[in-house]
Structure 1
Amino acid sequence: MERLSLSNSAFEGDNNAYLFADGSETVLIDTGDWLDTTREQLEAAFAERDLSLADVDRIFLTHWHGDHVGLADAIQAESGAEVYAHSADAPLVEGDEDAWEAMYDRQQQYFEQWGMPEAKRDVLVERMAGEVTSSESPTVTPFEDGDRFSFNGHELEVVHTSGHAAGLSMFETTLDGQREVFSGDVLLPVYTPNVGGADVRVDHPLEKYLRALQGIVDADYDRAWPGHRDPIDDPAGRAQYIIDHHEERSWRVLDALDRKGPCDTWTVSDDLFGELEDIHILHGPGESYAHLEHLERAGTVVREGSDYRLAEGVSDELEARDEQRWALEY
């Protein structure tokens, strides 16, 4: 297996595509972005190995986001490769108009509920309209959690890890006698993947993402191969760090409500992240919503229309926590 680092139009750092060309089949996990420069990089990497895109037999996609699936249609057109994605994401990858229309409608509903200002909506809609990946889409074979695939003496097992995206999936395998996992955007070495905004189709996104992270902690893999940047040598430790990060962020959400009183998601997002531009206009309130929704179902926060407020007694808990912190620091 070889990791191919590819430039992209995203902010998480270079994408990874993973190449298996050590047997009778040529297999890719993710394909990189749709940009011409990305295709040139992938073609050059293949040429260095005396391969071409026409040699690809199978493509396994971690999820539907364009920086992971962008070249799937072009590769399939050249090679006839079979393209696999989780059943929850397959319609989007295939370009199903009804699936995309439902996505856009739900985004608009959330923009209204979150209290996103009209000017910011206009910027965001223009940004998203510029992400046309291709005029064509691949034909997709859907998979489910627990499905297994074999090639070249390797075996991949699907681990469905919804949260960042509805169909986001990891692929477990054994490499050189070690239990390893291709983690896509479930586990990244630098950024904490966005939940709530990156895929508005996901119900209870933070709960599902935390469950996925706990699964990584429990699995205690030897290494993770993420969708962006370098391999992660302590996947369980990184997953626990992100769990702790989200716990701390929940406290920050509660603190914002305590200081500002009842307010909408956009106001909480502004308190957490400040002025937002570009795709962060979606991710900031999306992440804030994911926490508010999680806290609401926990009974810590009460929603009234589009506004949220602290449940009775929570303000006292916040004060006690601040006092405890002061005692530890001083």
Structure 2
Amino acid sequence: MQLLPNLYMFRFSVGHAFLWRGADGLTLIDSGVPGSAPAVAAGIESLGLRPADVRRLLLTHHHTDHAGSAAEITTWADMAVYAHQADTPVLQGQEQGQPPLLTDWERPIWDEVHGGKPPQPAAPVVVDHRLDDGDLVDLGGEPAVAVAVPGHTAGSVSFYLPRSRVLFTGDTIARLPDGTVILGVFNVDPERAAESMKRQADLDVETACFGHGEPVTHGASAVLRAAVTQLGDRSSG
């Protein structure tokens, strides 16, 4: 799915991935569940591009549906992997991730998705660049700002392209099938997750790309701010 002249979405049943085409090659944002690498490669080739031209892999967080194919994808080429420093030990297989604090309404969804069991970790992947808040990543002539958005995981990070007004939220924000934008679910710290959502709503965004749900391709800032207002109304209620 083409979102912009140089931005594409690889839609999966769980955990979308995105491709940015820059002047020096390709940047992949997230990798899908384990076993997704062939489908991502086929998607890249369908655009007349080469998987070997992926220069960077940006990971929004350590969960398997976003980092599950990262290790396999890094075998395609000499590419650099970027992730927040707080999630790096989990991505590299050195630590286990924190379990989420499930609300009553989230628990049945969790059990349906995971069969009541914690998900298996992704295959370890070496993180070449451990990001902190405000770090810049050059996407081949297009600067991307790493925005620390903890709460879903300790090291969740979104990537904001101020020039193109594009935001990749990972799982910090999601969109339901009916189009409603909500706070992402299964958070290790729901209060920090809500604050991270508010921070992203303050950015100047035209296109918002979520880890789950369809992107908002026009006027995303207004949509995100409205979602934050609804979040506040539910909290006060």
Taking a change above 3 Å as real, the CA distance of residues 234 and 186 of structure 1, as seen in their structure-2 partners, is farther
Q: Report the count of equivalent residues.
A: 221
Distance 2:140 2:111 in 1: 49
Q: Distance in 2 between matches of 1:138 and 1:212?
A: 26
- Whether the aligned pair in 1 keeps the contact of 2:174 and 2:184 (CA below 8 Å) is no
Check conservation: 1:189, 1:238, Cα contact below 8 A: no
Tell me if the contact between 1:6 and 1:42 (Cα under 8 Å) persists in the aligned partners: no
Q: 2:209 aligns with which of 225, 235, 247?
A: 225
- Percent identity, aligned pairs only, is 25
Q: Is the 8 A contact 2:182 2:231 kept in 1?
A: no
Aligned equivalent of 1:4: 9
Q: 1:167 — aligned with what?
A: 155
Instruction: Describe the superposition over 1:209-235 as per-residue Cα deviations: whole angstroms up to 9, x where unpaired.
Output: 332232233323222222233322233
Question: Does the C-alpha gap of structure 1 residues 247 and 86 become closer, same or farther in structure 2, counting only changes over 3 Å?
Answer: same
For residue 139 of structure 1, the aligned residue among 126, 132, 150 is 126
Name 1:181's counterpart in structure 2: 167
Relative to structure 2, which stretch is displaced further, 223-232 or 152-161? Answer: 223-232
| Contact 1:166–1:199 (CA under 8 A) maintained in structure 2 | no
The change in CA–CA distance for 1:244 and 1:174 in structure 2 (over 3 A counts) is: closer
Q: Which has the higher contact order (CA 8 A, sep 6+)?
A: 2
Q: What does residue 82 of structure 1 align with? A: 80
Name 2:67's counterpart in structure 1.
69
Mapped pair 1:23 → 2:23: yes
**Equivalent in the alignment of 1:280:** none
Name the SS for the 1:79 alignment partner.
coil
1:192 pairs with one of 182, 195, 200: 182
Find the aligned partners of 1:187 and 1:199 in 2 and give their Cα distance: 11
Q: Return the alpha-carbon distance in structure 1 between the equivalents of residues 232 and 205 of structure 2.
A: 23
Aligned to 1:241: 226
Q: Distance in 1 between matches of 2:225 and 2:25?
A: 36
Larger Rg: 1
Q: Describe the shift of the 1:126–1:181 C-alpha distance in structure 2 as closer, same or farther (beyond 3 A).
A: closer
The alpha-carbon deviation at position 251 of structure 1 amounts to 4.6
**RMSD of the alignment, in Å?**
3.0
- The offset of 1:124, in angstroms, is 8.9
In structure 1, C-alpha distance between the alignment counterparts of 2:74 and 2:153, rounded to whole Å: 23
2:44 is matched with which residue: 40, 43, 46? 46
The letter of the residue matching 1:128 is K
Shift of 1:127: 4.2
Distance 1:64 1:210 in 2: 19
Aligned to 1:158: 146
Q: Shift of the alpha carbon at 1:93?
A: 1.2
Cα distance in 2, alignment partners of residues 18 and 242 from structure 1: 23
Q: Deviations over 1:5-56 (max 9, x none)?
A: 2323x4xxxx43222234223211111221x3x3332121122134443332
Q: What is the CA-CA distance between 1:185 and the residue it aligns to? A: 2.1
Structure 1 counterpart SS, 2:165 = strand
Match for residue 107 of structure 2? none
Seen in structure 2, the aligned counterparts of structure 1 residues 69 and 164 have a Cα distance that, compared at 3 Å, is same
Unpaired stretches in structure 2, ≥5 consecutive residues: 1-5, 105-109
